[in-house]
């Protein structure tokens, strides 16, 4: 049975009259031109003479704004445009059209002052020097980012403690395991206490316990320093554990921007009723109560529209009486919700809220 995820409860973005918008994105668009390469000897010879291009819209015009201190998750399947968006916000990529401002800077101007106040951490990409201990690479970063001795020592100690780096930082980076290396890369990226942290697939390729630790670390980071965090992931656990607010991107378009709990309510406005029947009544037909999702050795799972959930549950209890051994009422798994969002499925019955359209 699929484990049910409980989305982080809480409302969507905090807004106040004096809102401090750290990230503002408007009409951001990124179009790539790609060579078309075909197989077959004939096509290859033809391509010697003439080449064809294809336009790919990686990001098809998106708008959103993020306040200081938020932890926002970018959710989307591979190729959705999440990493591309992050690269534009960190200044590595410049857009085809549209604007974006982070901390008041245009990221792709790549001003030194901007670079000192932000960081982009990309999963398993190494930026540390391979052959020397991380601690020594840190000293180089200290100078590059102009961190004074006292702040450096304090942050160094904090990061070593938070990420449990003590046994790792004096070993050459090449000798560390993937998980250890990622922790050290994290620390390297945060030495200069950036106000904005972009995380691209931070838990990719890590084992479960390391994933949990990284999540805990990001949460601590946000709590202690108030850094604004934007993370992309296709692990639902990351998003669920860290983000109150989620931005869903698919085919370069923004499908949803709001609280995770709201997402579930809008995209999958139903509840799952699981009724366990006693041996005698295992064949009972429960289809009148709702859509049967699965039937498994006396345990029947039904999909029931939210509005009717309470009534149907009461009916089941009343009408089945002693034949009912157990009854549970659950929210749909977040993965299921997300799958529906991406596949464009409309959940049964209720009129669907239009996806937040891109301009």
Interface positions with other proteins (CB under 8 A): 32, 37, 41, 44-45, 47-48, 84, 87, 90-94, 108, 110, 112-113, 115-116, 119-120, 122, 125-127, 129, 131-132, 136-137, 139-146
In whole angstroms, how close is the CB of 29 to other proteins at the nearest point? 13
Closest distance of CB 31 from other proteins, Å = 10
Q: Which CB, 1 or 41, lies closer to other proteins?
A: 41
Rounded Cα distance between 41 and 157, Å, is 61
Which of 94/235 has CB closer to other proteins? 94
Q: Residue 189 CB, nearest distance to other proteins (Å)?
A: 9
Closest of 78, 87, 79 to residue 34, by C-alpha: 79
Least distance (Å) from other proteins to the CB of residue 83?
9
Residue 117 phi, psi dihedral angles, 5° rounding: -110, 0
Could you report how far apart the first and last alpha carbons of the chain are, in Å?
Answer: 40
The tokens describing 246, both together, are: 């989620």
β-pairing, 228-233 with 245-250?
A: unpaired
CB of 66 or CB of 141, closer to other proteins: 141
Smallest gap from Cβ 120 to other proteins, in A, equals: 6
How many Cβ atoms from other residues are within 10 Å of residue 323's Cβ? 16
Q: Give Dmax over CA atoms of the chain in angstroms.
A: 79
User: Are 62 and 80 a contacting pair, CB within 8 Å?
Assistant: no
> Please, which residue, 99 or 127, has the CB nearer to other proteins?
127
Comparing CA positions, the residue from 314, 349, 345 lying closest to residue 329 is 314
Output the smallest distance, CB 130 to other proteins, in A. Answer: 8
Nearer to other proteins, 110 or 346 (CB): 110
Token pair belonging to 105: 């800077």
Task: Rank residues 131 and 220 by Cβ distance to other proteins and give the closer one.
Answer: 131
How many other CB atoms are found less than 10 A from the CB of residue 29?
Answer: 18
């Amino acid at each position: 049975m699929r484990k049910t995820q409980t989305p982080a409860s809480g409302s969507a973005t905090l807004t106040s009259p004096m809102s401090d918008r750290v990230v503002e994105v408007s009409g951001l668009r990124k179009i790539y031109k790609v060579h078309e390469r075909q197989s077959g000897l004939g096509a290859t010879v033809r391509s010697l003479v003439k080449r064809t291009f294809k336009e790919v819209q990686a990001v098809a015009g998106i708008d959103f704004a993020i306040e200081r201190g938020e932890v926002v998750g970018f959710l989307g399947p591979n190729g959705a445009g999440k990493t591309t968006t992050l690269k534009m916000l960190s200044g590595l990529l410049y857009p085809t059209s549209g604007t974006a401002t982070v901390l008041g800077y245009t990221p792709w101007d790549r001003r030194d002052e901007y670079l000192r106040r932000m960081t982009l951490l990309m999963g398993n990409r190494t930026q540390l020097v391979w052959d020397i201990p991380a601690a020594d690479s840190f000293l180089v970063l200290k100078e590059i980012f102009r961190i004074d001795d006292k702040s450096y020592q304090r942050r160094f100690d904090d990061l070593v403690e938070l990420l449990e780096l003590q046994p790792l930082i004096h070993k050459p980076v090449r000798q560390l395991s993937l998980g250890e290396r990622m922790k050290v890369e994290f620390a390297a990226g945060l030495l200069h206490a950036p106000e904005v942290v972009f995380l691209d697939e931070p838990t990719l390729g890590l084992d479960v316990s390391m994933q949990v630790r990284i999540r805990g670390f990001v949460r601590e980071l946000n709590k202690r320093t108030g850094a604004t965090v934007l993370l992309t992931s296709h692990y639902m656990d990351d998003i669920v554990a860290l983000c109150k607010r989620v931005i869903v991107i698919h085919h370069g378009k923004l499908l949803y921007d709001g609280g995770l709990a709201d997402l579930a309510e809008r995209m999958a406005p139903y509840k799952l009723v699981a009724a366990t029947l006693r041996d005698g009544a295992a064949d009972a037909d429960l289809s009148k109560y709702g859509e049967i999702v699965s039937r498994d050795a006396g345990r029947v799972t039904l999909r029931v529209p939210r509005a009717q959930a309470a009534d149907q549950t009461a009916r089941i209890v009343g009408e089945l009486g002693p034949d009912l051994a157990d009854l549970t009422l659950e929210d749909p798994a977040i993965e299921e919700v997300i799958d529906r969002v991406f596949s464009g499925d409309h959940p049964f019955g209720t009129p669907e809220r239009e996806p937040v359209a891109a301009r």
